[in-house]
Amino acid sequence: HPTEGNKAHGVVHFSKVEGGVRIVAKIRGLKPGKHGFHIHEYGDCSAPDGTSAGGHYNPFGMPHAGPKAEKRHVGDLGNILADAEGIGSYDLVDRVIQLRCPQAIVGRAVIVHAGEDDLVSQPTGNAGARLGCGVIGIDKE
Ligand code: CU
Ligand code: ZN
């Protein structure tokens, strides 16, 4: 769902597959280009700017990085790339996040940002404002 004054909206599916969790996202209402894409700590999108979702989900006190990095926040999914129509697509199997304990993401939030995650700046990748926020729940099979 969009945060106040923004238009980002869409669906992110997480499913257990061999080797990890597959993340498939389609998010509309973005500017073309890369947008930081993370799992944030709390499943609370109630603040108009999405800050109620807290920081990146980071249960092991690691530095911020990209999804392929050895040391990263559990929530670091890198960027979602939006096409000329502003439709962002993401499809990746991640080996770090888990649907259930101990690195459970259910009950937390997924956030898409206004800017690109540079995968280096601490602690957020300098990805800017939060355009959309969604609480991760449990779907029908
Ligand atoms: Cu984020
Ligand atoms: Zn991070």
Rounded to the nearest angstrom, the distance between the alpha carbon of 67 and the centre of ligand 2 is 9
Rounded to the nearest angstrom, the distance between the alpha carbon of 57 and the centre of ligand 2 is 7
Give how far the C-alpha of residue 106 lies from the chain's centroid of Cα atoms, to the nearest Å.
13
The Cβ-side half-sphere exposure at 37, using a 13 Å CA radius, reads: 25
pLDDT averaged per 10 residues in sequence order, the chain, 141 residues? 97 96 98 98 98 97 97 98 98 94 90 98 97 94 70
d(CA 69, CA 99): 20
Question: What pTM was estimated for this model as a whole?
Answer: 0.94
Q: Which of 35, 56, 72, 108 is catalytic?
A: 56
Residues 6+ apart with CB under 8 A from 103: 59, 74, 96, 97
Query: Is 13 part of the annotated catalytic residue set?
Result: no
